[in-house]
Amino acid sequence: MAEIRTTLAQTMPNATRTACAWVLVLMLGVLAFAAARMSGSPSLSVAFVAAGASCAVIGATMALIARASPGSRMPDAVRSAAQAVEDDTASCMICDAAFRIRHANPRAQGEVHAKIGASLATLLRPRIAHPTAILHRLATQIEVGGHATEDFLVGNGALRIIGRKIDATFTLWRILPVSEACGSEVGVPVLTTGRRGAVLAMNEAAHRLFGRRLRDLGELGLGDEARTGTAFFLDTPLGSQRLELRCFEAGQGRTEVALLPASASGGDPILEGLPIALLRVTPEGVVSTANREARQLLKLEDGEDARLGQLLEGLGRPISEWLADAASGRGLGRPEFLRLSRSPEETIVQVALTRGAPDEVIAVLTDATELKTLEAQFVQSQKMQAIGQLAGGIAHDFNNLLTAISGHCDLLLLRHSRGDQDYDDVVQINQNANRAAALVGQLLAFSRKQSMKAEIIDLRETLADLTHLLNRLVGERVTLELRYEPALPPIRADRRQLEQVMMNLVVNARDAMPEGGRILVETEFLRLREPMLRDRARVEPGDYIVVKVSDTGIGIPPENVRKVFEPFYTTKRSGEGTGLGLSTVYGIVKQTGGFVFLDSEVGKGTTFRLMFPAHTGPVPARAKDPDKPVLRKPSDAALGGVVLLVEDEAPVRAFAVRGLRLKGLTVIEADCGERALEILSDPGTRIDLAVSDMIMPGLDGPSWVREARKDRPDMPVVFMSGYAADALEASAADIDGAQFLQKPFSLNALAETVRQNLALAKEHRERAATTV
């Protein structure tokens, strides 16, 4: 009874005064009888007896009347309630189970003419339709929940009836007007309609809203039927308004239709409470309803007149066509991914459409940003992996070609002296082949298939050693500044590759400042206590050494930032860059287990941030491998010997055979592993050393060597490959004593490797003969 804030009810003081009166009258009667008995005069005694009898009769009658009064039979709880509502500004009445008024406060007596014993339903009948049914419905709700509230449209306003249970018999009813202005000082616009939507009556607010007399609901564009919760836009003399219908049965086939200002939610509590973003959209794209989740996702304001085409983009065709197809039942099973127009960050939503009411489409929106991010990460990963495999394959094939080119140049140089007119041309061919070999090395670095000689490195020392070279690279217009953190843990990396990374970044920074500027190289220690998510990468907690290379150049446009690490991508003019500098940086840093991040602002400069895991353990001592003997430089004298050369590339095989024979060696050649095994199947064939390509059609190098060593276990072997030495460790680690020669190689490098291995094989044979 918290809302009841008044004092004593009128009936309660009247009942109290009546009770006091009949007691007083009875006491006067008793006194009259006593006086008659004590009087000595017979006439006085008769008079006192008559007065006493009269008082007794009057007192008894008054007692009966007081006992019959309603207040006299009210329980204490009811009396308390009656006292509390005495000064309530609402019309308050206490009724029994039959809705008979047992008490009414002054406001009820004056406003609704409430009288004790009257029927509450009778009082309400002039104001609302079917009051008895309404009171019974509310009484059922009160019996279950202890209270009930319902609003009813009345004239230009609304009436609220509140019922609250006092005890098993009595109920307190409060009736008060409710102001629902709807943007107008004259109340709620209400239409009274018939069975087929004909408008029978309009209140003043409705006349003000429409500015004319409506004949049926079809003039609202809603058809013949109107449903509670239907929201629509209406052009009125007061301007365009978004309204929502509230329909109430008024009896005898009539319906009271109230037009309330619609919120963006459409007023549907079920729709509003769903944890899914839902929209009701017309085929023209007008958003008629958006629940709370949709408003938050689309950044919609309540009551905002919005179109789907203003909120979403990236469909690839007009949204109106898409909605029209959905309204006609086409394309409902194919959700689309679109971008939010109002989101400051790129937000992707998945939108699925289904048909709702006639001329209405239901759109279900799901935030798919994380899904599309993961998908983009996967695609990027697959793309980089595919490019890496392609780059590695190209590098392998290029190395075979370069081996043949540089090798035959070496053969030509053997026949030409410096004074020969062709000598310089051959040297130029050889030098350009070497430049091409360096380019292929960058491809291998990107594909992470180059050899990595990891060691424990102090970055300060490495960068200090590079300072002179870097200063020469940047030129006079650019200032190079280096800042070191005093104490940095070491990192584990390949020193040569790390130097290449720094040179590539500094050269890129220099080229970004054609008018001069400043390059800052600085190091810092970073400890991550939680995973760091950035640029689709996850950096695990731990200690990291950060190297930042910053410039004050022209910057990189946002649309190009994600492309800079792709091989062959360059913004430089033709002939000024290969597009492999940053892809090499990416490959080397990834190979060391690090990360590369890029921050750039057009017109202000670019910062590359390299993160290397700090090496916290002890520096391991590198033990000598007994299976990998140290090769000593042999004498210049020709050792002689028989070499089995296995190479599937004919130009490489031709150069190697001619070169080794010129060095005094006997060479037996084979174009595949199967042919090599066929040659070795003759026990009388002497082979001092096998030189084989690793990757060949059919049996590759390691495979045929394993088969051959079943009969010739001591046969030494040198593998050649356009890939790096890591390939030997991966596929030929079980072949004892195998050596590796990286393509492309020169004639001198090939001859030196063969001579060293022949000398080693000869020492093994002599040692074995001495032991026997």
DSSP-assigned letters across all residues of 379-394: HHHHHHHHHHHHHHHH
- Average confidence score pLDDT of the chain: 77
**Where do we find the tokens 């790129």?**
346
The pLDDT of residue 627 is: 38
Return the higher-pLDDT residue of 726 and 761. Answer: 761
Q: Average the pLDDT over 644-671 and give the result.
A: 91
Structure tokens at 327: 């309204």
Going by pLDDT thresholds of 50, 70 and 90, the confidence category of residue 672 is: very high
pLDDT at 77: 73
Nearest to 728 by CA among 451, 454, 496, 497: 451
Confidence class for position 543, pLDDT limits 50, 70, 90: very high
Read off the tokens for 50: 């008559």
| Top-confidence range, 189-193, 328-332, 740-744 | 740-744
pLDDT given for residue 7 in this prediction = 32
Return all residues near 619 (Cβ < 8 A) that are at least 6 apart.
Answer: 456, 490
The dihedral through the CA atoms of 71, 73, 76, 81 has a sign that is: negative
pLDDT at 171: 92
Residue 163 amino acid letter: G
Rounded Cα gap, residues 363 and 297, in angstroms: 13
Helix (H) or strand (E) run with residue 56 in it: helix 42-68
Q: pLDDT value at position 434?
A: 78
Bridge partners of 272?
none
For the segment 234-284, what is each residue's pLDDT rounded down to a tens digit? Answer: 777 766 677 777 777 766 667 778 787 665 444 555 566 678 888 888 888
Q: Is the pLDDT of residue 126 over 50?
A: yes
In this structure, of 240-244, 315-319, 698-702, the range with the lowest mean pLDDT score is: 240-244
Q: Which of 250-264, 317-331, 368-382, 731-745 has the lowest mean pLDDT?
A: 250-264
pLDDT computed for residue 634 by the predictor:
42
Q: How far is CA 223 from CA 196, 227, 266, in A?
A: 10, 11, 19
Q: At what angle do helices 423-446 and 581-591 cross, to 10 degrees?
A: 50
> What is the reported pTM?
0.41
Q: Any alpha helices (H) in 611-746, and if so which ranges?
A: 650-662, 673-680, 701-708, 726-731
Asked if the model's pLDDT at residue 2 lies above 50, the reply is no
What is the average per-residue pLDDT within 719-731? 70
Q: Which of 19-28, 234-243, 670-679 has the lowest mean pLDDT?
A: 19-28
- Lowest mean pLDDT of 255-259, 393-397, 411-415, 540-544, name the range: 393-397
pLDDT at 717: 93
Hey, what are 490's tokens? 């070491």
Across the range 593-613, mean pLDDT stands at 92
Confidence of residue 347 (pLDDT cuts 50, 70, 90): confident
227 has pLDDT over 80: no
- 667 pLDDT above the threshold of 90: yes
Provide the pLDDT for residue 629. Answer: 38
Whole-number pLDDT of residue 158:
66
Residue 718 is predicted with a pLDDT of 92
Instruction: Please indicate whether residue 515 or residue 73 has the higher confidence score (pLDDT).
Output: 515
Pairing of the two strands 336-340 and 361-367: unpaired
Residue 248: name the closest of 122, 128, 126, 120 by CA.
Answer: 128
Beta bridge partners of 525: 545
Cis peptide bond N-terminal to 744, omega within 30: yes
Q: How far apart are CA 24 and CA 16, in angstroms?
A: 13
Strands (E), 491-541: 491-493, 517-528, 532-534, 537-539
Cα–Cα distance between 374 and 377 in angstroms, integer?
A: 5
- Say yes or no to pLDDT of 313 above 90: no
Q: Of 256-265, 390-399, 656-665, give the range with the top mean pLDDT.
A: 656-665
The pLDDT of residue 340 is above 60 = yes
Look at residue 230 and tell me whether its pLDDT is greater than 60. yes
Tell me the pLDDT tens digit for each residue of 742-756: 888 888 889 999 999
Q: What is the DSSP letter of 182?
A: T
**3-state secondary structure at position 60:** helix
Q: Judge whether residue 670 has pLDDT over 90.
A: yes
pLDDT over 80 at 323, yes or no: yes
pLDDT at 355: 81
Angle, alpha carbons 482-484-485 (nearest 5°) = 155
Ranges 135-139, 193-197, 245-249, most confident:
135-139
pLDDT score recorded for residue 180: 36
Predicted pLDDT at 633: 42
**Nearest-angstrom CA–CA distance, 639 and 662:** 13
Q: Are 386 and 711 in contact (CB under 8 A)?
A: no
Q: How confident is the model at residue 71 (pLDDT cuts 50, 70, 90)?
A: very low
Task: Report the SS3 class of residue 147.
Answer: strand
C-alpha span between 686 and 647 (Å, rounded): 19
Length of the chain: 772
The alpha helices in 125-240, defined as continuous H runs, are: 131-145, 204-210
Q: How much of the chain, in percent, has pLDDT values that exceed 90?
A: 14
Query: Is-contact 4 81, C-beta < 8 A?
Result: yes
Residues pairing with 277 in the sheet: 365
Confidence band of 596 (pLDDT split at 50, 70, 90): very high
Tell me the C-alpha distance between 705 and 727, whole Å: 16
Structure tokens of 474?
């940047």
DSSP class of 181: -
Mean pLDDT, residues 164-189 taken together: 69
pLDDT band at 707 (very low <50, low <70, confident <90, very high): very high
With 70 as the cut, is the pLDDT of residue 449 above it?
Answer: no
Which has the minimum average pLDDT: 76-90, 171-185, 363-377?
A: 171-185
pLDDT-based confidence at residue 362 (cuts at 50, 70, 90): confident
SS3 603: coil
- Candidate from 124-133, 332-341, 619-628 with smallest mean pLDDT: 619-628
| Least confident stretch, 17-21, 534-538, 710-714, 741-745 | 17-21
Return the pLDDT at 726: 61
Q: H/E/C letters for each residue in 220-253?
A: HCCCCCCCCCCEEEEEECCEEEEEEEEEEEEECC
Higher pLDDT, 155 or 424: 424
Using a pLDDT cut of 70, give the percent of the chain over it. 74
Inform me whether the pLDDT recorded for 606 exceeds 90.
yes
The answer to whether 204 touches 187, Cβ cutoff 8 Å, is yes
Confidence band for 86, pLDDT divided at 50, 70 and 90: confident
Helix (H) or strand (E) holding 673: helix 673-680
pLDDT at 306: 80
**Is 688:641 a contact under the CB 8 Å cutoff?**
yes
The pLDDT of residue 637 is above 50: no
